[in-house]
Amino acid sequence: MSNPAQTTVHALLVYLRPAPRRALLTALADFGVFVCERPGARDAGKFARMRGARLALVVGDLDAETEACVADLADSGCVTVVWVPSTTTIRDTRLPGANAVIEEQHLGAPSSPVLARAVAEARARTFGPPGTAPSTVFGDLEFDPITPAIIGAGKIRPLSRAEHAVLSRLQAARGEPVDAASLLDAATEPGHLPPPGFLKSVVLRIRYKARDLGGDASRLESVRGFGYVLDR
């Protein structure tokens, strides 16, 4: 099973043809990979960048459509692996931009050394803009600002826009208290008037999700008369 202390890898799984999916998704989960699925090659690279994917998995054939999709994904900075039908002869075959080409019989092999190498390479790649890298919160949980979510014990709890904004602001303060007005402003949609107790309810939901994943929710503390602090 995946180690929650490792950097989570986000992957884009592109289907250019029908294929079994359960075994592959299970194998990727075992490697600590969280997957977005997408049918068709259109704008695959753009979608990968938008989702912060560093690994791309293409289920296709050795044809022009797959080659164009792989090139697009490679340009987005993804480590790219292609699965082709088991009837395909791939010996000595090279697909430009692909890090590996695997036959479908190995689609979901958890012990696949090729898949393991691809995940390791994707994990080692640097992130994009500052503030997009996962960080540790609530003891040993992972806060991923791209999804956005908090992750632990092989489980993921997505964050709402308000929860993400508050947790990001507290995390950026590096253990210093943040005033309630600043947090409320970050959590509120522009042009909206927050209801009474809105910030408190956001904080309670963050604590609940951290506790549900086995994290130390008490690290998000109230500072009487001021705001909140996230203990690093």
Model confidence pLDDT, tens digit, residues 188-231: 988 888 999 999 999 999 999 999 999 999 999 999 999 999 99
Decide if 86 is inside a domain. Answer: yes
* Total tally of structural domains belonging to the chain: 2
Judge if 114 and 13 occupy the same domain.
Answer: yes
- Cα torsion 4, 215, 167, 38 to 10°: value is 40
Decide if 1 is inside a domain. Answer: no
The answer, yes or no, to whether residue 102 has pLDDT greater than 70, is: yes
Pick 129 or 192 by higher pLDDT. 192
**Alpha carbons 27 and 32: distance in angstroms, whole number:** 9
Q: Domain range spanning residue 37?
A: 9-124
Judge if 215 and 152 occupy the same domain.
Answer: yes
The answer, yes or no, to whether residue 110 has pLDDT greater than 60, is: no
The answer, yes or no, to whether residue 232 has pLDDT greater than 50, is: yes
Q: Which of 82-86, 88-92, 161-165 has the lowest mean pLDDT?
A: 88-92
pLDDT band at 78 (very low <50, low <70, confident <90, very high): confident
Judge if 112 and 202 occupy the same domain.
Answer: no
State the CB neighbour count (10 A cutoff) for residue 222. 13
Q: Show which of 124, 146, 175 is a domain's final residue.
A: 124
Decide if 75 is inside a domain. Answer: yes
pTM of the model: 0.55
